[in-house]
Amino acid sequence: MVTMLRRRAVSSVIPLLVVVLGVFFLARLTGDPANLYLPLSATPEMRAEFAARNGFDQPLITQFGDYLAQVAHLDFGESLRTAQPAGEAVLRAFPATLQLAGWTMLLAIVGAVVIGSLAAYRPNSVTDRVASFLSSTAASVPDFWFAIMGVLVFAVTLGWLPTSGTSGAAAWVLPVATLLIRPFGVLVQVVRGAMVSALSAPYVKVARAKGARESRVVFGHALRNAAAPALTVAGDLAVGLVNGAVVVETIFGWPGIGKLMIDSVLQRDFAVLQAAVLLTALVIFALNILVDVCHALLDPRVRQRAAA
Amino acid sequence: MAQKDMSRFRWPALLLQDRFAFAAALVLVAVAVCAVLGPLLIGDLATRQNLRDPGREPFSLDHGWAFVLGSDSLGRPVAARLIAAAGTTLSVAVPAVLCSLAVGSVWGMWAGYHGGWRESVSLRVADVILSFPSLLLAVVVLYVFSPSAVGIVVVLAVARIPVYLRTARAESAELRSRLFIDAARTFGTTGWASIRRHVAPTVLPTLLTVAALDFCFVMLTESSLSFLGIGIQPPDVSWGLMVAQGRQELQSAWWIAVFPGLAIVITTVSATVLAAWARLSTDPGQRWRHGLRRGGSRLRRPRPARGDVGPGPSPTAESAPTGEGPDLTETPPPPLAVSPAHAVSPAQAGAPVAGADTLAVDGLAVDIRTPAGPVPVVRGVSFAVRSGETLALLGESGCGKSMTAHAVAGLLDPAAEVVGGQARLDGEDVLALGPRARRRLAGPGLSIVFQDALSALNPVLTVGTQLAEPFRIHEGLSRRAARARAIELMERVGIPEASSRAGAYPHQFSGGMRQRLLIAMAVALRPKVLLADEPTTALDVTVQAQIMDLLAELRSEQRMALVLITHDLGLVAEHADRVAVMYAGTVVETGPVTEVFGRPNHPYTRGLLESVPAEQHKGSRLDSIPGSPPDPRSVPTGCAFRTRCPMAREVCAGHRPTLAGTGADRAAACHFGKELADA
């Protein structure tokens, strides 16, 4: 287990390094970094002063060393808008997004397991067809439009839910629902597919031949085998939640990392954008390892392969 | 290749059959037409501000067709803007999808075809790109190089290359191991030529399906970016941009935001439906499943209205188990079953103590539901087995012998259904039982051993847990007590160090040990009847003998009735007391093994025995039965074997022979069975 974690950590450090490098070169290779960091109206003197202060007049290799040292200390420079350290701004915004994403994934996984299993239990039944159609529609509805329709119906017309903010349970409904719809739609289809093949496996017949009740056959025998492919996709979807968070947080004024990123793009606040991107990459790195641990817990064959 | 050409011919017809897919295709064609002809149709209506007509309500034709969906706050008609935006959407999505399809598929085929470092490096690159949220990638890149349509195309194309790379790699790596690629290599065909000629045609259909799904993803990402203000920039029109604009006026003019969103949903859902349809129609296995109707559950099958038939043999030899009476209330009689199977159970055909049959199967019929209607795969099978006896169900693959066993055990796939007959376990018809009563019998009454022990054991549960399950379910034992019984059982079937091995998983055992575990599980509750479905086929010869010995020991120890399903004549000769030979879904001959093998009363049995190399035939030509077993969908009329039978005459085409006694405890379904017996 420990060996596996170590090996997996080493191999997923590569994407993390690519992101770190990518951000560095994007910022340097497009010309004067001052163009990225400073407002367009900056005078040549301001630019020169900025370059000297941040070491942009140094050779590239020195700059890279400084950059790595800064990143290692989570020092991403100051926000143009607030003059606060960019790293702090990002860390302040993170919990809001994590909470939103956590609830969403929890609901998506539980709901998809229940509905996907029901659909897979009798392939091509009415339940299956309805579930398949709704889930494929859910997976192809644009989240920003879904959010706006939610606001139109439940906030503007009916007045049941607030249009933005984070106070009270009602404020969570529309953001979570919007963020939920795509991962839920995809997961239902994945769970269904995995369960259809698990339920037609010989070991399921053996379980029935032992006189096991259907609930035990489905949840005790089939589901654990179907969990592995679903888990892989759930991991990818959790990474994809960052996409959704950008949209949802912008629409509902949610003070999370997604809104922070869009705001810093629109106001050209490169320090904050860079900090947000690198921290997101770090979280994704941790998430991938978590998915691997879950795989090993679920499947003894993965454990054995990892130990070998 | 021939198959591919055929499918090319048939796809328009298939598309018309599926109304959903047809509608989806129409929608996509309409979007494409709007994109191409849109500029001619609407001129500058979409962008010209018209302050005389701001905020017109939709669904009125008073101001011309362009205003049918209302107008925005600058008086621009929504309908015209929708059409203009279709062009923008396609001009981003189509190039992006084509670029990533081209690059990703060529790269993936190259990596998969060659394997080795090229494969692992490519996969690692794909992992890196995919592990980063694409929208975030787009945000950063579009920040650095200000937003533009070209920028979006490039970012999305790069972000989606790994999807095609992975698919193409997986498919061509699988092809790499196939023989025809090796053959091409032997002839000196170069890598690229091989890929073009052999790999690409096979991989392309899958890739196109992926592309259709990817089209949705690219469209959604583009509209998200435009909505967020970092994608398509005004004055260009995009559906995402229109939603963003409509959001500002949500309270006063809902239609501005609603219609472009609907346009996105309808287009993406159409592409999804079409992709799903394409997957179904290129994969015959999937289409098969797709065409199944739900049908009644086998467990809810009404009890055959033959209540007067008690335990033991049927009153007359002419009783017709299938094709008559209310047995077939659920499905119409199979069109290809020529005549009702006037089967006679072997018990009637001269068995001495018929009442002692532990399991008596009588006229069992099973259909498989297919899109083209039910196909009868088991067509009136009858046999009986007594406790302590081994009956071999012998037949070639596809003759319905496994299907028979699964039907008796109540383990048919949802697509298969028992449509007639009985299976009496100690006189009680198990096929008529409800699910609960059925479950009570599963284990102590009827039990089954499967062929492939690796897939028949649950890979994620310890063998101890799986062996303890029968005791937990039927005897309500505690976890600890059940585990102790499981360990005893493992010792009984000869697993060394049982108590420590109980915590191990199936993949940690050898093939023979796994088969022992499976047998242990099946005999845990001392079943009256054990169905062994090709229990040794997957094993090597020495292990085979051990497993058969174990089964024989357990049979005599527990006084079980053993039904041995096999295609192995040697196994039957060595281990079975009686044999029922099956052909094309029916039993063609039954009797004691020594007698049947010594003097077969059916030409098929005779043909089978003659095709076995044996000492006495040494030096002479080995005979085999000409032709091959019939497809269940087109079994010949009359006798199913007549097209391959050396003795076939006119009567064989007209009348289906029934299983009739040909001697003491013997029966054959042949018009000339008596002649053969007396010859």
Residues B431 and B548 grouped into a single domain: yes
Residues B438 and B550 grouped into a single domain: yes
A140, A262, A299 ranked by CB distance to B269: nearest: A140
**Do the beta carbons of residue B273 and residue B403 sit within 8 Å?**
no
**Is B412 part of a structural domain of the chain?**
yes
Digit-coded pLDDT (tens) for B67-123: 667 777 776 777 778 888 888 888 888 999 999 999 998 898 888 888 778 888 888
**CA gyration radius for chain A?**
24
pLDDT band at B299 (very low <50, low <70, confident <90, very high): very low
Digit-coded pLDDT (tens) for A20-31: 888 777 766 655
Which of B219, B220, B272, B529 would you mutate first to test chain A, the one with the most A CBs within 10 A? Answer: B220
Is there a contact between B293 and A124 if contact means CB atoms under 8 Å apart? yes
**Is B302 part of a structural domain of the chain?**
no
**Is B232 part of a structural domain of the chain?**
yes
- Residue owning tokens 């860390």: A91
Q: Which of B248, B283, B318 is the last residue of a domain?
A: B283
**Is B474 part of a structural domain of the chain?**
no
**Is B245 part of a structural domain of the chain?**
yes
- Domain carrying residue B219: 2-35+89-283
Digit-coded pLDDT (tens) for B401-415: 889 999 998 888 888
What is the rounded CA–CA span in Å between residue B68 and residue B88?
Answer: 21
Sheet architecture: strand order including B416-425: B373-386, B357-370, B416-425, B428-429
**Do the beta carbons of residue B443 and residue B525 sit within 8 Å?**
yes
What is the rounded CA–CA span in Å between residue A151 and residue A162?
Answer: 8
Residue B310 CB coordination number (10 Å) = 10
**Is B12 part of a structural domain of the chain?**
yes
Residues B157 and B270 grouped into a single domain: yes
| B295 closest CA partner among B437, B419, B429, B432 | B419
Residue B504 CB coordination number (10 Å) = 16
| A146 closest CA partner among A178, A123, A114 | A178
Q: Which residues are CB-contacts of B641 (< 8 A; sequence separation ≥ 6)?
A: B583, B584, B588, B603, B604, B648
Containing H/E element for B420? strand B416-425
Q: Which 76-135 residues of chain B touch chain A by CB within 8 A?
A: 124, 127-128, 130-135
Q: What is the mean pLDDT of residues B506-526?
A: 88
| B304 closest CA partner among B281, B324, B278 | B324
Kindly state whether B458 is in contact with chain A, defined as any CB-CB distance less than 8 angstroms. Answer: yes
What is the rounded CA–CA span in Å between residue B334 and residue B666?
Answer: 29
Q: Which residues are CB-contacts of A119 (< 8 A; sequence separation ≥ 6)?
A: A125, A127, A128, A131, A132, A188, A192, A195
Residue, of B211 and B59, whose pLDDT is higher:
B211
pLDDT at A247 over 90: no
Please count the residue pairs, one from chain A and one from chain B, whose beta carbons lie less than 8 angstroms apart: 213
Residues B376 and B262 grouped into a single domain: no
Q: Which of B258, B283, B308 is the last residue of a domain?
A: B283
What is the rounded CA–CA span in Å between residue B366 and residue B364?
Answer: 7
Q: What is the mean pLDDT of residues B365-371?
A: 87
Digit-coded pLDDT (tens) for B304-326: 333 333 333 333 333 333 333 33
Residues B416 and B563 grouped into a single domain: yes
pLDDT at A40 over 70: no
Residues B265 and B410 grouped into a single domain: no
pLDDT band at B295 (very low <50, low <70, confident <90, very high): very low
**Is B652 part of a structural domain of the chain?**
yes
Residues B244 and B383 grouped into a single domain: no
For chain A, which domains are there? Answer: 87-306 (1.10.3720.10)
The per-residue pLDDT for A114 is 92
pLDDT at B301 over 50: no
pLDDT at B62 over 70: no
What is the rounded CA–CA span in Å between residue A296 and residue A306?
Answer: 8
Q: Which of B265, B283, B301 is the last residue of a domain?
A: B283
Residues B177 and B278 grouped into a single domain: yes
Q: What is the mean pLDDT of residues A287-306?
A: 81
**Do the beta carbons of residue B603 and residue B668 sit within 8 Å?**
no
Residues B257 and B391 grouped into a single domain: no
Digit-coded pLDDT (tens) for B523-532: 888 899 999 9
DSSP for B529-548 reads EEEEESTTTTS-HHHHHHHH
Digit-coded pLDDT (tens) for B468-484: 989 988 888 899 999 99
Q: Which of A260-274, B327-341, B567-581 has the highest mean predicted lDDT (pLDDT)?
A: B567-581
Helices of type H across B524-670: 541-558, 569-575, 593-598, 603-610, 650-654
**CA gyration radius for chain B?**
34
Say which DSSP state A78 is in: B
pLDDT at A105 over 70: yes
Digit-coded pLDDT (tens) for A168-194: 777 888 899 999 998 998 899 889 988
Residues B160 and B267 grouped into a single domain: yes
The beta-carbon contacts of B641-647 under 8 Å, at least 24 apart in sequence, are B641/B583, B641/B584, B641/B588, B641/B603, B641/B604, B644/B604, B644/B607, B645/B603, B645/B604, B646/B603, B646/B607, B647/B603, B647/B672
Q: Which residues are CB-contacts of B89 (< 8 A; sequence separation ≥ 6)?
A: B31, B35, B219, B222, B223, B238, B239, B267
**Is B329 part of a structural domain of the chain?**
no
The per-residue pLDDT for B434 is 86
The per-residue pLDDT for B484 is 92
Write the CATH number for B102.
1.10.3720.10
Give Cα separations from A116 to A128, A208, A238 (angstroms).
8, 21, 18
**Do the beta carbons of residue B252 and residue B9 sit within 8 Å?**
no
Residues B277 and B367 grouped into a single domain: no
Write the CATH number for B410.
3.40.50.300
- Residue owning tokens 């102790």: B484
Instruction: Compute the half-sphere exposure of residue A84: CA atoms within 13 Å on the CB side of its CA.
Output: 10
Domains identified in chain B, total number:
2
Residues B137 and B251 grouped into a single domain: yes
**Do the beta carbons of residue B486 and residue B464 sit within 8 Å?**
yes
Q: Which 177-206 residues of chain A touch chain B by CB within 8 A?
A: 200-203, 205-206
What is the rounded CA–CA span in Å between residue B12 and residue B311?
Answer: 56
The per-residue pLDDT for B531 is 92
Chain B residues closer than 8 Å to A151 by CB: 250
Query: β-strands B428-429, B416-425: how paired?
Result: antiparallel
Chain B residues closer than 8 Å to A251 by CB: 247
The per-residue pLDDT for B10 is 56
The per-residue pLDDT for B316 is 37
Digit-coded pLDDT (tens) for A117-136: 988 888 778 888 888 888 88
**Do the beta carbons of residue A222 and residue A204 sit within 8 Å?**
yes
Q: What is the mean pLDDT of residues B269-273?
A: 85
Which of A97, A130, A145 would you mutate first to test chain B, the one with the most B CBs within 10 A? Answer: A145
In a 10 Å sphere around its CB, with 0-12 CB exposed, 13-18 middle and 19+ buried, how is residue A296 labelled? buried
Q: Which 239-268 residues of chain A touch chain B by CB within 8 A?
A: 239-240, 242-243, 246-247, 250-251, 261-262, 265-266, 268
Is there a contact between A209 and B443 if contact means CB atoms under 8 Å apart? yes
- Residue owning tokens 């699964």: B406
Residue, of B97 and B16, whose pLDDT is higher:
B97
